[in-house]
Structure 1
């Protein structure tokens, strides 16, 4: 009976040892930097770095675009105010058709046969 127990104990130890060996090989492949999750983590880390750089560049570009847009908007508002003043000053000018009538104060009646000899 003692021999059977020892044999089962040795078999269990060998089975546990074999299981640990297989598990260690799987873990080694799992954390491999080229093929396993370690490689995926390394690739993702590089992509995060690239994305961070791209985001920083995009923020810088957007800020400069906003600054330029603010400048152009301010210039447009100033030009609009200037145009409003010019249009307002045009309302003070006399109407050209009224001034032409004022140049000739005499009323001339045309006859219906203005082109024929009288």
Structure 2
């Protein structure tokens, strides 16, 4: 009976030894920096660093853009005030006199006929047409 107990004890010890070897291999693969969770953690850590740098750059850029936008807004408000003053000063100016419309009949009376290069008349006054018709 002791012999059977010793054989079972040796078999159990071997099974536990095999189980420990399997667990050790799994644990080494689990913490491997290239393939296991350790690798995933390393990759995530690198991504967090990259995202932190990108976020810092984006915050700086946004701050600069906000400053430029504030400057442009201030300039636009200044120009708007100037334009309002100019428009207000335009109301104080007297109205421009209406231009005198030329009388076409009066112009036609003083024009003399002009002859072109071939001897034909280019411009005739109204008086000449009336005289020619009579």
TM interval, short-chain normalised: 0.7 to 0.9
| Residue of structure 2 equivalent to 1:107 | none
Q: Which residue matches 1:48?
A: 48
2:12 is matched with which residue? 12
Larger Rg over CA atoms = 2
Q: Larger RCO: Structure 1 or Structure 2 (Cα < 8 Å, ≥ 6 residues apart)?
A: 2
Corresponding position of 1:61: 61
Give 5+ residue unaligned stretches, structure 1: 102-109
The answer for unaligned runs of 5 or more in structure 2 is 109-125, 128-134
TM-score (norm 1): 0.78
User: CA–CA distance in 2 between the matches of 1:87 and 1:4?
Assistant: 115
Between the aligned partners of 2:89 and 2:8, the Cα distance in structure 1 is: 111
Question: What is the DSSP-based 3-state SS (H/G/I as helix, E as strand, rest coil) of the residue aligned with 1:96?
Answer: coil
**Structure 2-normalised TM-score?**
0.70
Shift of 1:2: 3.0
Alignment of structure 1 residues 18-97 onto 2, 5 Å = 18-97=18-97
RMSD of aligned alpha carbons: 2.3
Deviations 1:69-93 (A, max 9, x none): 0001001001101100110111111
Once the 2 structures are TM-superposed, how far is the Cα of residue 3 of structure 1 from its aligned partner? 2.7
> 2:119 maps to what in 1?
none
How many residue pairs get matched? Answer: 108
SS in 2 for 1:93: coil
